[in-house]
A = this chain, B = another copy of it.
Amino acid sequence: MAAPTNHAPRTRNARGDGGRLGDEIVAAATRLLERLPEGSITLRAIAREAGITAPSIYRHFDSVGAILRAVIEVTFADLEVVLREPPPHGNAAERLEATCHRYLLFAQEHPEQYRLLFGGAWNASALPSEEAAERAERAEIGQDAFRVLVGRLDECITEGMSLSENSFADSAALWVGLHGLASLRRTAPLFPWPSELEHELIRSLARLE
């Protein structure tokens, strides 16, 4: 509280920012998830990957949980970009299928990042004791990616290719199906997955004709 005896409060610039920033820490953690499971992502491992010492991290984040929260935000944005990429030519149903396929590809190519977003670890335990405000904020996270799916289904409805009468509810079902497929294909790769499962799942849940 002790106010400075000087006349005006000064606003100092952040200095090292631009060089060794919190962004680099988040990027390092994201990179680690390309080759290590979430459980191996420790504060020291992140520091090592970022090329800094462990205590430096505290200038930017309170805990590993806070870093992972930032990774989640960035990764959801990445996923949204992937989903929004203009799909190849084709009708609305083909564009929807292409978008769904990209979702599955993202999950396959970045399995640990995908698990971080949707695997449930962070919700149950990794980020305990959060405030109501954080919960509300988190409810928003990922919604933008989901809206891409809703938009594609709306196009199908407009073009008369889907029987859906509630694009939100049916997109939710579609998301559930896609997630189930992404998750189980990785967990149970030895299960004799029917070859047309992806296609049939999308058709059923999006109520494509």
Which A residues fall within an 8 A CB radius of B? 37, 39-40, 111-112, 115, 118-121, 123-126, 135-136, 138-139, 142, 166, 168-169, 172-173, 175-181, 183-184, 186-191, 193-194, 196-197, 200-201, 204-205, 207
How near does chain B come to A129, taking the closest CB pair, in angstroms? 14
Q: Choose from B124, B186, B187, B200 the contact partner of A173 (Cβ within 8 Å).
A: B200
Question: Would B119 and A120 count as touching, CB distance under 8 A?
Answer: yes
Question: Would A120 and B183 count as touching, CB distance under 8 A?
Answer: yes
How near does chain B come to A70, taking the closest CB pair, in angstroms? 18
How near does chain B come to A206, taking the closest CB pair, in angstroms? 10
Question: Would A172 and B187 count as touching, CB distance under 8 A?
Answer: no
With a cutoff of 8 Å between Cβ atoms, the chain B residues found around residue A191 in the complex are: 139, 172
Q: Bound complex: CA of A37 vs CA of B38, how far in Å?
A: 13
Q: How many copies does the complex hold?
A: 2
Name the residue of chain B whose CB is nearest to the CB of A115.
Answer: B120
How near does chain B come to A107, taking the closest CB pair, in angstroms? 10
With a cutoff of 8 Å between Cβ atoms, the chain B residues found around residue A118 in the complex are: 183-184, 187-188
Question: Would B39 and A123 count as touching, CB distance under 8 A?
Answer: no
Question: Would B37 and A186 count as touching, CB distance under 8 A?
Answer: no
Question: Would B120 and A187 count as touching, CB distance under 8 A?
Answer: yes
Q: A118-B188, A120-B183, A120-B186 are in contact. List 15 more A-B contacts (CB 8 A).
A: A39-B121, A118-B184, A138-B190, A139-B191, A168-B194, A169-B194, A169-B200, A176-B181, A177-B201, A178-B180, A180-B180, A183-B183, A201-B205, A204-B205, A205-B205
Most buried by B among A135, A180, A187, A205: A180
